[in-house]
């Protein structure tokens, strides 16, 4: 099916080839089987992540919101167990709240950096629109708050089976609009990885459509910016990325359940197809083994072509969102230092 859809675009090109007078062959590139090990130049912590076996259950494909909730709760156990230690190391406190009816957590660092006193970051967690409910969505927010000295509002947006597209986006926008009542847009940053990266981009499209002022900067990490399986690394990094593993794996299944029949090419599900002009300064993060490397670099190119100040960082050997998996890894500190430095540079004070 995947090859089939590529064949269709190949056919379209063959026609274009005739028009352009190009020499066209239908040949595919045959790549033999290979064995991979983590590169020796990354930290021991990152080697552990890179050499880990493929994610358990990557090819289990629940088809309903109810089934996904069970998977999400089971997957959350380990995260919830590790969370108190992470909060302690990052020296942050977490307060559960509700903002205009949307569940959220306020993450506050022991020390808010002086230049950050009037700044707020809004966090949209990842998890293919179906995973990491409640506190399980917090680790990235906790790291950003602790490493950057920021107050962070982490949105515990509705997910299946509680609600479906565009509920997650609606909840993010509700929190953004509420924040605008007390904080200038230019003092607000929005960030998140994977589905959270896509939601960050989708929020900008929605904010533009609503005529809202846009935030001062955004940091979409390895965004699920194209959920139609278009993107070269869906193929080249298939079974190389040990987190997402395959374009036909769990993450695709979760996204389809959230979309609930809605067109996956809608820019509010695949923001690469939206008009990215006027977007705030953007920093994008990915890794060389990331199944979404193409998603990420395509967003970067499209932002640059739209005249947006956009920065790309790509980490050696890392699969999808490895950069936020181990707060002790120097690569994690490096990635967050770049992102918080970017916010510090671009957000108003």
Is residue 48 within the footprint of a second copy (CB under 8 A)?
yes
Among 73, 170, 184, 238, binds a second copy (CB under 8 A): 238
CB atoms within 10 A of CB 113: 13
Q: Choose the stretch contacting a second copy; rule: CB under 8 A; options: 50-58, 168-176, 206-214, 252-260.
A: 50-58
Among 206, 300, 322, 346, binds a second copy (CB under 8 A): 300
Here's the x/- map for a second copy, 242-271, by CB under 8 A: it reads as x-----------------------------
Q: How many CA atoms lie within 13 A of 304 on its CB side?
A: 11
Closer by beta carbon to a second copy, 17 or else 57:
17
Q: How many CA atoms lie within 13 A of 156 on its CB side?
A: 22
Among 37, 95, 98, 181, binds a second copy (CB under 8 A): 37
Q: How far is the CB of 30 from a second copy (least distance, A)?
A: 6
Residues 63-102 that bind a second copy (CB under 8 A): none
Asked if 52 contacts 242 with a C-beta cutoff of 8 angstroms, the reply is yes
Query: Cα–Cα distance between 343 and 348 in angstroms, integer?
Result: 9
CB atoms within 10 A of CB 236: 15
Query: Cα–Cα distance between 274 and 209 in angstroms, integer?
Result: 11
Q: Choose the stretch contacting a second copy; rule: CB under 8 A; options: 110-118, 137-145, 150-158, 294-302.
A: 294-302
User: How far, CA to CA in Å, does 11 sit from each of 6, 212, 338?
Assistant: 9, 42, 42
Q: How far is the CB of 32 from a second copy (least distance, A)?
A: 5
Residues that bind a second copy (CB under 8 A): 3, 6-10, 12-13, 16-17, 20, 22-25, 27-41, 44-45, 47-48, 51, 53-54, 230-233, 235-240, 242, 288-289, 293-294, 297-298, 300-301, 304-305, 311-317, 334, 338
């Amino acid at each position: 099916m995947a090859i089939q859809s590529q064949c269709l675009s190949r056919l379209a090109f063959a026609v274009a080839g005739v028009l352009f007078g190009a020499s066209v062959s239908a040949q595919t590139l045959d790549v033999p089987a290979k064995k991979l090990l983590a590169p020796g130049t990354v930290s021991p912590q990152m080697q552990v992540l890179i050499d880990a076996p493929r994610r358990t259950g990557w090819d289990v494909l629940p088809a309903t919101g109810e089934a996904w909730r069970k998977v999400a709760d089971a997957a959350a156990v380990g995260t919830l167990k590790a969370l108190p230690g992470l909060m302690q190391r990052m020296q942050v406190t977490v307060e559960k709240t509700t903002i205009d009816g949307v569940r959220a957590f306020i993450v506050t660092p022991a020390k808010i950096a002086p230049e950050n006193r009037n700044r707020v970051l809004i966090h949209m967690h990842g998890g293919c629109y179906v995973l990491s409910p409640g506190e399980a969505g917090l680790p990235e927010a906790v790291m950003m708050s602790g490493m950057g000295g920021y107050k962070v509002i982490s949105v515990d947006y509705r997910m299946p089976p509680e609600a479906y597209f565009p509920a997650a986006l609606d909840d993010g926008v509700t929190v953004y609009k509420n924040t605008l009542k007390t904080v200038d847009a230019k003092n607000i940053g929005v960030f998140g990885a994977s589905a959270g990266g896509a939601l960050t981009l989708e929020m900008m499209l929605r904010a533009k459509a609503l005529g809202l002022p846009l935030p001062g900067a955004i940091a979409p990490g390895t965004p699920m910016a194209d959920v139609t399986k278009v993107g070269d690394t869906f193929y080249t990094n298939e079974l190389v990325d040990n987190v997402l593993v395959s374009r036909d794996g769990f993450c695709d299944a979760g996204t389809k359940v959230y979309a609930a029949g809605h067109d996956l090419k809608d820019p509010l599900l695949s923001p690469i197809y939206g008009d990215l002009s006027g977007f705030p300064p953007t920093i994008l993060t990915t890794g060389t083994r990331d199944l979404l490397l193409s998603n990420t670099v395509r967003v970067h190119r499209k932002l640059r072509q739209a005249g947006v100040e956009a920065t790309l960082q790509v980490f050696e050997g890392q699969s999808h969102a490895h950069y936020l998996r181990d707060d002790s890894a120097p690569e994690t500190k490096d990635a967050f230092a770049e992102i918080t430095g970017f916010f510090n540079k671009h957000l108003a004070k």
